[in-house]
Structure 1
Amino acid sequence: MEEIVLEVQPRGELGKSKVKDLREKGFIPAVIYAEGKKSQPIKVSHRQLWQLIHQHRLESTVINLKIQDDKEQKGRPCLIKEIQHDPVKGDIIHVDFNEISLTKVIKVNVPVVAKGEPVGVRQEGGSLEHTLWEIEVECLPTDIPKDIEVDVSQLKIGDDIHIKDITFPSNIKVLNNPEAIVFSVTAPIKEEVVVPAVEGEEKQEPEVIKEKKEVPAEGAEEEKSEKEKK
């Protein structure tokens, strides 16, 4: 497991106005939650957190929080529980950390990445469809894989890769449906070719078939007149 250390500070600033001032000074308010422990308010450097977000996938990365002035000087292994953003500006406004035990299994989502270019794309003009982007696994925090790499180079048009087709490390347990499709290669979409009309070519009008008027048979009119006289 890659060790990521983030230095944080205890936070005494509580309340809307004080938290606003905290953000203006370059800090993000945060809270550490732990089972059986009281939650602890902290503040995180906006710059340091922003760097971590761009360098790592923090949703499944264990972060060792080093709290300033902590007498025990022990890091607290955590996973990010939630990152809140400003609905208008998109800035990070709050972070929740969840402290974990390194000796207890946890459930996390691990990203799936494709390796190689499918035969069906390279030679047949198909498209690679990435259906399942994350796989939920259960393992120790120290065994969380960075990602799950799947070789798709042999896929032809119409081929699929299901979860059951992937070989996973023995120290993780996959929780998704084994029949779930992760990757597939589909045939190219054929566009309908519209033939333009030739300039100057007369457009043929459809033939109009008029209703045929019924003509009485010869002698039928005379027979009708005789009956009317009677």
Structure 2
Amino acid sequence: QLQHIIAQAGMSRLINLRIDNDKQPKSVFIREVQRDVLSNQLLHVDFYQVIKGEKIAVDVPIVLVGEAPAMKEKGRMLTHGITSLSIECLPGSVPPQIEIDLSPLEEVEQAIYVRDIVLSPDITVHADPDQLLVKISEAIIKEEEVVVAAEVEEEVEAEAEAEAEAPAEGEAKKPPADS
């Protein structure tokens, strides 16, 4: 049952935890989960008890939703800046995740930054407003290097041919032998 609760709640949802002899459940967040490497069985769960009415700082995962129209063109790349956002709010106001809608990204070089996120007024974001969340850019293709290498190879061959045809220093050019 605990594994199911952990899977549902993640690290950013408030859980009511009832301990055997307590009459009232405790409001907690899951801070850390330790599992056996081979069997994936739970070994230890660390909870963080919160006091209702007191703000807490927590990292909330960023989830990309929707499809960016700019990605329909070949050779485009979606760069994902950060994967979680540090916020401060009352325990009951912590969102399970922050969803970033990609549908406004219609052109190359368009981006979404922390300053573009719209959250509830009771949530304070602890991140640089200019921090990149996602950006559409052109994929870099390295065709130029191949062309340059081919040109250099042709130049080397041409120089080698010219040296082979030219007389060595100090030697006079010999007339062709008569047959």
Which bin holds the TM-score, normalised by the shorter protein? 0.7 to 0.9
- Percent identical residues: 31
SS, match of residue 78 in structure 2: strand
Instruction: Note the C-alpha offset of 1:87.
Output: 4.6
The Cα offsets for residues 56-88 of structure 1, whole Å up to 9 and x where unpaired, read as 32x111111112343xx2111111222223355
Aligned to 1:120: 70
Confirm whether residue 60 of structure 1 aligns to residue 16 of structure 2: no
Return the letter of the residue paired with 1:145.
Answer: P
Confirm whether residue 130 of structure 1 aligns to residue 80 of structure 2: yes
Q: 1:207 to 1:115 in 2, by over 3 A?
A: same
SS, match of residue 164 in structure 1: helix
Q: Structure 1: state its 5+ residue gaps.
A: 1-47, 195-203, 217-230
Higher alpha-carbon Rg:
1
Confirm whether residue 209 of structure 1 aligns to residue 163 of structure 2: yes
Return the letter of the residue paired with 2:170.
Answer: E
Q: 1:153 to 1:215 in 2, by over 3 A?
A: same
**d(CA) in 2 for partners of 1:99 and 1:215?**
94
SS, match of residue 163 in structure 2: coil
Give the alignment's TM-score, normalised by structure 1: 0.60
Aligned to 1:171: 122
Q: Structure 2: state its 5+ residue gaps.
A: 147-156, 173-179
Instruction: Note the C-alpha offset of 1:190.
Output: 2.8
Aligned to 2:151: none
SS, match of residue 209 in structure 1: helix
Confirm whether residue 144 of structure 1 aligns to residue 94 of structure 2: yes
**d(CA) in 1 for partners of 2:114 and 2:62?**
11
Return the letter of the residue paired with 2:77.
Answer: S
* Structure-to-structure mapping, 1:185-200, within 5 angstroms: 185-190=136-141, 192=143
Higher alpha-carbon deviation: 107-116 or 204-213: 204-213
**d(CA) in 2 for partners of 1:166 and 1:79?**
24
Contact kept in structure 2, 1:112 and 1:148, CA below 8 Å: yes
* Structure-to-structure mapping, 1:1-230, within 5 angstroms: 48-57=1-10, 59-70=11-22, 73-87=23-37, 89-123=39-73, 125-155=75-105, 156-190=107-141, 192=143, 207=161, 209-210=163-164, 211-214=167-170
Contact kept in structure 1, 2:78 and 2:137, CA below 8 Å: yes
Give the alignment's TM-score, normalised by structure 2: 0.76
Root mean square deviation of aligned Cα? 2.7
Instruction: Note the C-alpha offset of 1:128.
Output: 1.6
Contact kept in structure 2, 1:136 and 1:175, CA below 8 Å: yes
Instruction: Note the C-alpha offset of 1:114.
Output: 1.9
- What is the total number of aligned residue pairs between the two structures? 158
The Cα offsets for residues 94-151 of structure 1, whole Å up to 9 and x where unpaired, read as 1121211111000111111223211220245412222111101000011111221222
Q: 1:192 to 1:91 in 2, by over 3 A?
A: farther
The structure, 1 or 2, with the larger RCO (C-alpha pairs under 8 Å, 6+ apart) is 2
